[in-house]
Amino acid sequence: MPEDLIVPSGQTLDLDANPPTGALRRVNIAKLEDLVTHGFVDSNSSLQAMMTSAREATKAALGERRPFTRVPGTLRQADLGRYRPFMLGARGTTPAEASMFWSVVRELPPDSLISKVDAQTALSSLSPKAIQATIWSFLDVTIKSGANLALIGATFNCRHFVIEHTGRLLVKGTGLYLKASSIQGL
């Protein structure tokens, strides 16, 4: 059962270095439909809309025969420039859903995305890289004044999320998907 998380004033808590018992869950994303199963995407219709958008963006990028370019400021692999067209085509989905979906799909070979991938396709058959996601679950989270809560990008579920004056949330990595009934102080 999740518990409350309170970061005391003047302290820094690194969740990844000191995970509270029962709050951390790492899940494998073996198929795209696992994004819906684990709550990263709200519905199968959103997943289908994003799959359609990703296919269309990839077809267009491969049809243009543009050279691969590096993603500025990162050590990531070369990119086809598909993200912007994907986001424009993924209307009706939240940015958090689209971002999580794209972080999985981007690792797949572009040609297989067009012809071989559906919601039930085993992603391990297309990419040797195992895809894992981190989910933190708490009842209420409070970051007191002058306190820091540090974590690597993940999904963060709680009922109430409060950051008091001069408290900070430090996200290392790709980003944070915060799901809470109320958020105060951001």
- In angstroms, the CA 12 to CA 121 distance is 41
- In angstroms, the CA 104 to CA 129 distance is 10
* 185 has pLDDT over 80: yes
Q: Summarize the confidence of residues 120-130 as an average pLDDT.
A: 85
Q: Rounded to two decimals, what is the model's pTM? A: 0.76
Which spans in 65-138 are helix H? Answer: 83-89, 95-105, 110-115
* 96 has pLDDT over 90: no
Whether the Cβ atoms of residue 168 and residue 151 lie closer than 8 Å to each other: no
Q: Summarize the confidence of residues 64-91 as an average pLDDT.
A: 72
Domain extents in the chain: 5-26+133-184, 37-122
Please report how many Cα atoms fall inside a 13 Å half-sphere around the Cα of residue 55, on the Cβ side. 13
Q: Summarize the confidence of residues 134-153 as an average pLDDT.
A: 92
More confident residue, 75 or 51: 51
Q: Summarize the confidence of residues 151-161 as an average pLDDT.
A: 89
Q: Summarize the confidence of residues 125-151 as an average pLDDT.
A: 90
Structure confidence by residue, pLDDT tens digits, 16-39: 888 888 899 889 999 999 999 998
- In angstroms, the CA 125 to CA 134 distance is 22
